[in-house]
Each structure stands twice: as structure tokens, then as C-alpha cells.
Amino acid sequence: MFNYETVVGLEVHMQINTKSKVFCECSTEFGAEPNTNICVICTSQPGTIPILNKKAVEAIVKTGLALNFTINKQCTFARKQYFYPDVPKNYQITQSEPPLCSKGKLKIYIDGKEKIVNLARIHLEEDAGKLVHEIGNRKLDYSLLDLNRASVGLMELVTEPELSSPQEALEFLNELKTIVEYLGTSQCSMEEGKMRCDVNVSVRSAGQKELGTRIEIKNMNSISGVRDAIAYEVERQIEVLNSGGKLIQETRLWEAEEGITKSMRTKEGALDYRYFPEPDLVPFELSDSFIEDLKKDIPELPMMRKQRLIDDYALSDYDAGYLTSKREIADFYEESLGFTKDKKICAKSLSNWLSTELNGKLNADKKEISQSPVSSQSLAKLVNLIIDGKISGKIAKIVFEDMYLKSLDPEIVVKEKGLAQISDEGELAKICQEAINESPKVVEEFKAGKERAIGAIVGLVMKKSKGQANPGLANKIILEKLKN
Ligand code: ADP
Ligand code: MG
Ligand code: ZN
């Protein structure tokens, strides 16, 4: 038996976030009626000429810059020939050599340890149409063709074969998705097919230099699916090798429900795409200023933003990780922090309110932070009320209900419902005296030296005041009363 190591390389297709397709003016809108977003160009009518969408090139160069790629100024296109019914022109316009971006890097963390994954390339290509084999749950005995997706712009990012476990592939895809979402160059929603992934997996004896025979798993559409498919595939390959068998280079399909991969076809060894320069798109050169302008447009990326939040506000790794998991959440947090009375003092409390209370309610309602009925300013006001001792954490939860359900301002809720904390000594002293009178046993215990017993009296004060007493002050008053 050998000791095997896993080698994984990924080819990730991300739909470029542009309003129109890459070679025509048709909309890229998801979920439109079949064949409504089509024209003579994206349905491949003879004699039509593709016109390059500048925004698509911008998106790829911006993504490349953010991932430390070298940008190739020479922009060229190629025809990749193949027959498939969802590509009526019998070729796909793509980039061969050079791609727009070569040799990038992405940093991930595995069990707290940094790993740099080398990236081979990002190139621009057009998507194919879609064959439809069922309507609702009804399987058809014929196929329908929907060309809405034909010629939608894709960026294909290819990694070097350097990922070495299912978990690493998962972390890599999560980090890539987060960065690209920050950049806004793709929406990366896997449910809508805007991020898809081909997974190449091989194994080799530990220490061996040459790569093992690779198996490609096509068209994965969930990140956890990628992880599970690699885990399954590695085990299968090791079993084949250990039983004296040989692996052949092939394409396999992931059957998510069964949790297994199945052979689809042996690798198109003989298949030659006969790439040649696309005659309808003339090569051109990107100007330095075009690239420089895009560089300036790159926002602070998630890992750096996370570190800054940790450094500036002493947030935990976990908290900062949640807050920077999406750009919209981080923006909401920092905007809200700007409305608090003291960023350093309020940072932790605000982070808690955002990640537990607000996030919990949004999740339950399947809403994004952009649809939050609680504004960033409102949430800051709530935190201010707590930090100022105007309301307790418990009361704050009641106030928050109204903020969320009715979009009300917390200060108004506190005022109208009379929820302000009782910090008036005279008023509080009266309630404390009542509570002491009603707790003779506790008083005895206290006098017998058990100071902690007064917690019960503070509890009673809180109950009597319906949670509005200032617990610190109540504690102090009760202590004084009992000591005298
Ligand atoms: P193709 O274009 O035929 O799919 P590439 O050489 O461009 O082939 O490789 C595609 C992907 O497969 C890359 O992500 C690469 O890292 C990965 N890869 C190549 N060889 C192996 C291997 N032996 N094991 C795992 N991944 C591999
Ligand atoms: Mg491939
Ligand atoms: Zn079109």
C-alpha cells in the first residue's frame, strides 16, 4: 500500500456582471422567458458580426489585477470548433494565447496556515445556449433549445494543479467568490449558474514529482458539491490503484443525490478544436490608462478589510470574518459604526447586534442586508442607547423588535413605550427597599456572610421594574442598604 497525496486543479467559469451580452446588445437577465433575449448575432445568423462589449473586458482585467495577474495588453480572440446543438454556429469565440490575464495568485488559509495558490490564467469567452429536456417535472421525449444564455460573457479562471485536499478546494472557491463579489465583476450565484466549476482530480504516491492521471468532473454547481466530489473521487482512484488497476484520463459526472461520480466519456484525446484567430474580431491593444483606471477602481479586498477591522477595533477573527464575508455587510457595519458615539467602544456591541439579531431576522425572512428594514443609523442609535446606560440589553431586544417590524427609530420606541432605564436613585431606592422587604431569607444569608446572595434581590428589582432598572445602580443601592 502506498501513501497517496491528492492533486486538484480547478477551471472556474463566472458569468461577467454586465447588462448586455458579450458580442451583442441582448440582455443577460436571468430567468426571462425562453428565447426572448436573442438577436441575429447571438443566434448565429450567417453574415452577422460580433461587437465586443468593453465592460466585459474591464471586468476581466479588474478581476485579474485584484488577483495579482499579469495583464496581457494584446487582446485577441480565437474560434474553438465543436458541434453541439446549443451552439448554433458550431464554434465558440474564446481566447487561446494569450489570455487577458496570466500567472496570478490567491491566498487562502488552511487551519490558520497561509497558502498561496498559483493561478494559470483568466480568459474571456462566450457562454452556450441551453438544451431543455423537461418542463416542470414532465420529461420531454424531444429537446428544446433556449438561446437566452448564448453569448453571455464568461470569465474562465484556471488554477495550477496545486490544491491538495477537498477542504482546500472549498476554501479556495469561497475566497474567490468573496473577492469577485467584492469587485462586482460577477454575481457568482451558483444557483443561477453564474459560477460553475470543472474539477480536475488526480492522486500520486507521496513525494512523487510527476502528476497522476487526471479525471475531470464537469459542471459542478455548488461549492460543497465540489468538496464532496473530490473526496469521493480520491477514494475511488486510490482503490483502483491499490487493487492493481490503471486509471484512464476521462470526464466524469457528479451525481449529487447518490454522492458518486460516473464516467461520462474518456478524455477527448483525439478531439482537436482547431483553434484559429477569430477573423471577425480584430486584435487590439489595451492602453496603459485603461488598465491604470481599473486599478484605481479596486476596492479594499476582504482579507485586508478583515485585518483592518481586527487591528482597529480589536474584533475577534470570527466576528471580523463574518462582517467582511460580503461587501454589503462590511459597508453596512462601517457606515453604522460612523453613527455610533465612539467607534472603539461600540464596535463589539454593534458587531454582535449585526451578526446575531439583525442577521438572524434577515435570514429567517430570506432577505439581504440591502433590504434591511433597520437602517445603519438606526442600529447605531440602539447601540448608543445601550452604551449610555439608557436601556439594558434585555430591553434593547424589545426595542429591536419594533425597529425591525415597523422600521421605527429606537429613540422614539424607548420614549413612546416608556422603556428608558430607571437610573433615578430616589425612584430606584424605593423599588430596592420593597424587594429587600420581600426577601427576608436572602437578607439573612447576606448577613451570614454570603454577599453573592443579593443577586436574587437585584433580580427581583429587575422583575418589579419590568427590566427597566439599571442593574449596576440597583446592586449598589441594595449593598448600601444592607450594610447599614
Ligand atoms: P484542459 O484545457 O485540457 O482542460 P489544462 O492543462 O488547461 O487542460 O488543465 C486544466 C486544469 O486541470 C487546470 O486547472 C490544471 O491545474 C488541472 N490539472 C492538470 N493536470 C492535472 C492533474 N494531473 N491532476 C489534477 N489537476 C490537473
Ligand atoms: Mg478542461
Ligand atoms: Zn443577441
Going residue by residue through the chain, which has 484 residues, state the pLDDT in tens, using 9 for 90 and above. 579 999 999 999 999 999 999 999 999 999 999 999 999 999 999 999 999 999 999 999 999 999 999 999 999 999 999 988 999 999 999 999 999 999 999 999 999 899 999 999 999 999 999 999 999 899 999 999 999 999 999 999 999 999 999 999 999 999 999 999 999 999 999 999 999 999 999 999 998 999 999 999 998 999 999 999 999 999 999 999 999 999 999 999 999 999 999 998 876 555 688 999 999 999 999 999 999 999 999 999 999 999 999 999 999 999 999 999 999 999 999 999 999 999 999 999 999 999 999 999 999 999 999 999 999 999 999 999 999 888 888 889 999 999 999 999 999 999 888 888 787 788 889 999 999 999 999 999 988 888 888 899 999 998 888 888 888 888 999 999 988 7
Atom of ligand 1 nearest to the CA of 10: 14
How far is the first Cα of the chain from the last one, in angstroms, to the nearest whole number?
80
Could you give the CA distance from residue 484 to residue 478 in angstroms, rounded to a whole number?
Answer: 10
| Spacing, Cα 96 to ligand 2 middle (Å) | 13
- Per-residue confidence (pLDDT) for residue 269, from 0 to 100: 56
Residue to probe by mutation, ligand 1, list 157, 200, 267, most atoms within 8 Å of CB: 200
CATH topology of domain 425-483: Arc Repressor Mutant, subunit A (1.10.10)
**CA torsion through residues 200, 206, 211, 215, sign:** negative
Atom of ligand 1 nearest to the CA of 159: 14
Instruction: Report yes or no: 76 and 273 within 8 Å, Cβ to Cβ.
Output: no
Ligand nearest the Cα atom of residue 43: 3
Residue to probe by mutation, ligand 1, list 4, 5, 11, 97, most atoms within 8 Å of CB: 11
| Spacing, Cα 158 to ligand 1 middle (Å) | 8
- Which chain residues have CB less than 5 Å from ligand 3, an ion? 24, 26, 39, 41-42
- Residue pointed to by grid coordinates 466576528: 319
| Spacing, Cα 201 to ligand 1 middle (Å) | 8
| Spacing, Cα 383 to ligand 3 middle (Å) | 51
> Helix crossing, 455-464 with 425-437: angle to 10°?
120
Nearest to 13 by CA among 106, 113, 123, 90: 123
- The answer to whether the pTM exceeds 0.85 is yes
CA-to-CA dists, residue 319 to 198, 322, 334, 358, 366, angstroms: 32, 5, 13, 14, 21
- Per-residue confidence (pLDDT) for residue 453, from 0 to 100: 87
Question: For the chain, what's the residue count?
Answer: 484
How is the chain split into domains, by residue range? 4-292, 302-417, 425-483
Nearest CA to ligand 1 atom 14: 9
- Per-residue confidence (pLDDT) for residue 325, from 0 to 100: 94
- Per-residue confidence (pLDDT) for residue 295, from 0 to 100: 97
109 phi-psi bin (left φ>0, alpha ψ -120 to 50, beta other): beta
- Per-residue confidence (pLDDT) for residue 53, from 0 to 100: 98
Strand pairing report for 250-255 and 215-220: parallel
Could you give the CA distance from residue 291 to residue 297 in angstroms, rounded to a whole number?
Answer: 10
- Per-residue confidence (pLDDT) for residue 272, from 0 to 100: 83
- Per-residue confidence (pLDDT) for residue 471, from 0 to 100: 83
**Sequence letter at residue 461:** V
Atom of ligand 1 nearest to the CA of 158: 14
Could you give the CA distance from residue 393 to residue 399 in angstroms, rounded to a whole number?
Answer: 10
- Three-state SS for the chain is CCCEEEEEEEEEEEEECCCECCCCCCECCCCCCCCCCCCCCCCCCCCCCCCCCHHHHHHHHHHHHHCCCEECCEECCEEEECCCCCCCCCEEEECCCCCCEEEEEEEEEECCEEEEEEEEEEEEEECCCEEEEEECCEEEEEEEEECCCCCCEEEEEEECCCECCHHHHHHHHHHHHHHHHHHCCECCCCCCCCEEEEEEEEEEECCCCCCCCCEEEEEECCHHHHHHHHHHHHHHHHHHHHCCCCCCCEEEEEECCCCEEEEEEECCCCCCCCCEECCCCCCEECCHHHHHHHHHCCCCCHHHHHHHHHHHHCCCHHHHHHHCCCHHHHHHHHHHHHHCCCHHHHHHHHHHHHHHHHHHHHHHCCCCHHHCCCCHHHHHHHHHHHHCCCCCHHHHHHHHHHHHHHCCCHHHHHHHCCCCCECCHHHHHHHHHHHHHCCHHHHHHHHCCCHHHHHHHHHHHHHHCCCCECHHHHHHHHHHHHHC
**Sequence letter at residue 389:** G
Please tell me the number of Cα atoms within 13 Å of 91 on its side-chain side.
19
